[in-house]
Amino acid sequence: MQNEFVESRKSEFAELKSYIDSVKSSQGILMQTLQKAQDIFGYLPLEVQQFISKETNIPLADIYGVVTFYTQFTVEEKGKHKIGVCLGTACYVKGSQEIMDKLSEELNVKVGTTTEDRMFTLEATRCLGCCGLAPVMMIDDDVYGKMEPKRVHEILKKYRN
Ligand code: FES
């Protein structure tokens, strides 16, 4: 019986297959293929890893090893909006943990996980390079500086609508 995920993502698998066919004859294609697959699917579930293994003849264990080693890859589906709270030193001393706690409470999720409705993924980040605005939070490409826990609710509202 065909897997439900594979059935529902046929066009994405076809796109990945044509990409693999185009690079197959080159050396060292695993990283670029995984990156492409993540761009297409948004994440790398087991079904996608199995497909890559079959199409490239690279053992699944090797693929899994690379996917779990590099933080740029994820095996879990992300939410529609990605929230990153900077826990770099400048932000941390200015209270970014409190921002994180408030988000966690508002969204009812732990850090590193996604809300049940798949709207938000909450993550901790390293220094975002704008320490003058500490504490800093990002939602997708929007930067929120000098954050305070009391602003969290209003800001989230914009993305919920
Ligand atoms: S420490 Fe947060 S932006 Fe630099």
Do 148 and 97 share a structural domain?
A: yes
Do 62 and 113 share a structural domain?
A: no
The model's pLDDT over 18-67, given as tens digits with 9 standing for 90+, comes to 999 999 888 889 999 999 999 999 899 999 999 999 999 999 999 999 99
CA of 54 to the centre of ligand 1 (A): 42
The model's pLDDT over 118-158, given as tens digits with 9 standing for 90+, comes to 899 999 999 999 999 999 999 999 999 999 999 999 999 99
**Domain termination residue (choose one: 45, 69, 93):** 69
Do 63 and 14 share a structural domain?
A: yes
CA of 23 to the centre of ligand 1 (A): 39
**pTM metric for this prediction:** 0.69
The answer as to whether 74 is a domain residue is no
**Domain termination residue (choose one: 25, 49, 69):** 69
In whole angstroms, what is the distance from residue 91 CA to residue 72 CA? 23
CA of 128 to the centre of ligand 1 (A): 5
Do 128 and 92 share a structural domain?
A: yes
Q: Which atom of ligand 1 sits closest to the CA of residue 86? A: 2
Distances in Å between the alpha carbon of 50 and those of 53, 64, 78?
5, 9, 20
**Domain termination residue (choose one: 69, 91, 108):** 69
What residues are in contact with ligand 1 under a 6 Å CB criterion? 86, 88-91, 127-128, 130-131, 134, 136
Residues β-bridged to residue 122: 83
Do 28 and 63 share a structural domain?
A: yes
Domain tally, the chain: 2
The model's pLDDT over 73-121, given as tens digits with 9 standing for 90+, comes to 989 888 999 999 999 999 999 999 999 999 999 999 999 889 989 899 9
Range of the domain at 92: 81-160
CA of 88 to the centre of ligand 1 (A): 5
The answer as to whether 75 is a domain residue is no
Mutate which of 86, 93, 97 for ligand 1 pocket (most atoms within 8 A of beta carbon): 86
Do 31 and 92 share a structural domain?
A: no
Which CATH number is 143's domain given?
A: 3.40.30.10
The contacts of residue 146 (CB under 8 Å, 6+ apart) are: 133, 134, 135
Do 137 and 97 share a structural domain?
A: yes
CA of 111 to the centre of ligand 1 (A): 18
Mutate which of 93, 131, 143, 147 for ligand 1 pocket (most atoms within 8 A of beta carbon): 131
